[in-house]
Amino acid sequence: MNRLHFKSTHLVAALLTAGLIGGVGVSAVRDMAVAHAQPTVAAQAVAPATVTTPDFASIAARQGAAVVNISTSGVQQTADEGDDAGAGAPMDPSMQDFLRRFGLPPGAFQFAPRGGPGAGAPVRGEGSGFIVSPDGLILTNAHVVRGAKAVTVKLTDRREFKAKVLGRDDKTDVAVLKIDATGLPTLALGSSQALRPGEWVMAIGSPFGFENTVTAGVVSAKGRSLPDDSAVPFIQTDVAVNPGNSGGPLINARGEVVGINSQIYSRSGGYQGVSFAIPIELASHIKDQIVAHGKVEHARLGVTVQPVNQAFADSFKLPRPEGALVAQVEKGSAADQAGLKAGDVILRADGQAIVDSGDLPARIALARPGDKLPLEVWRNGRAEQLTATLQGAKGKAETVARADGAAHGKLGLALRPLQPDEKRQAQVDGGLRVEQAGGAAAAAGVQAGDVLLSINGQPATSVEQVRGVVAKADKSVALLIERGGQQLFVPVPLA
């Protein structure tokens, strides 16, 4: 089936794209004939308006030294003889995730094993990043270093350093690395809020392994919400971004970083004119938490919202179809304690207008647990003011994975118990929510947000119970998954 997919620009990096387009205004002179022998009057000529492009060459020369190439490596167990993977070694979860995001089957590529069945096979990936402090602090995407056993950073002067991953946040796809070096060139951080659609921007990165590739384009839109369960208000551009550009900087005409290139929208797996970057303000917010605490705490309001269309606006007597319509309020949440109700329309949060429903989680993403969030809501035909004290995100998920390295491998799911409101919403009595999917389960089609109802016919009651079933399984397990109100069995081979 021919479908559009959002793609994470992971591993290998982009071909050099040149071709900056400048426009020149055209003046026209019209003669007007006036009837009844009146004199002819010539219209005044309009002076040509010259549109110039930024000096990208100077920006690249000045800022390119602070952009780095990131390579990752690890070891993955090879397939047993007779396994469906064939003669090649199976890929690590990050490569499988990469292929799946680009619409390719997990078996599209295989690494040739260096030994017999069970021998370790090398897996490698590449991405980009940029230096934000002279002592070696580097920003990149979380998916660039996810699952990596070793991370190497290569500078433009060809020096290489082993990097330590200080932390990563999968929810926003931001990671922070540290290398042991001083006196390094850095990139100045700008403001994504000041960007305007149509403004020139450029990217520097390592698409398809071609280091320090420069591409340019314009800002297409801001505050884009993507259907990937993230709370990132993405910057959309038409800058050529390809696999390997992930983690590299998006730079404005003043040479300041305004975003981190993260995703593309594509049918083919390559650039097709639509790219997305994480706003630098959000990335800096995540970086500061990782550097200070080694982890990220996400604030939570506790509402389910949906867009306001014209029909809703007419029904609620709103002057315009804007805001976030509250469909559900979680009992005991920050929203509940603040007095929010289903049917409220959130018009402003923290003083910022909520035009689309996706603007609300984007604002909350910049807050921390304990912060007070002023809200303007539309209720019963008039605006009211409320204040919510944001709570922390739900408990950290536990990862279901075998630690003994047995032949049947691991399941690769991060699970947590369902909250009461989630049970009601999914109309189930029990089960576990899939927070993250990787490894064999992800390759079989299990996704974050699914509800695991049973495993091998046994109800999924706890993380430990699932772990025990996996431990006793031989070659595969059968998972009963609830997704979007539908139930389906997913067979997961464990070899």
Kindly list the catalytic residues: 143, 173, 246
Taking the C-alpha atoms of residue 312 and residue 346, their distance in angstroms, rounded to an integer, is 13
Q: Please, which residues bridge with residue 124 across strands?
A: 73
Q: Please, which residues bridge with residue 476 across strands?
A: 493
Torsion on CA atoms 234, 238, 242, 247, rounded to nearest 10 = -40
Taking the C-alpha atoms of residue 46 and residue 392, their distance in angstroms, rounded to an integer, is 59
Q: What is the largest CA-CA distance in the chain?
A: 103
Taking the C-alpha atoms of residue 275 and residue 355, their distance in angstroms, rounded to an integer, is 22
N- to C-terminal Cα separation, the chain: 28
316: Cβ contacts below 8 Å, ≥ 6 apart: 308, 343, 345, 378, 381
Taking the C-alpha atoms of residue 17 and residue 2, their distance in angstroms, rounded to an integer, is 27
CA 483-85-77 angle, to 5 degrees, is 95
Say if residues 389 and 338 touch (Cβ distance below 8 Å).
yes
Say if residues 285 and 291 touch (Cβ distance below 8 Å).
no
Taking the C-alpha atoms of residue 42 and residue 492, their distance in angstroms, rounded to an integer, is 79
In Å, how far are 9, 10, 68, 97, 435 from 151, measured between CA atoms? 17, 14, 12, 19, 25
Could you tell me if residue 255 is left (phi over 0), alpha (psi between -120 and 50 degrees) or otherwise beta? left
Half-sphere exposure of 90 toward its Cβ, with a 13 Å CA cutoff? 25
Q: How many CB atoms lie within 10 A of CB 336?
A: 16
Contacts 24+ apart (CB under 8 A), 213-219: 213/13, 213/14, 213/15, 213/16, 213/17, 213/245, 214/16, 214/56, 214/60, 214/64, 215/14, 215/16, 215/17, 215/239, 215/240, 215/241, 216/17, 216/20, 216/53, 216/56, 217/275, 219/195
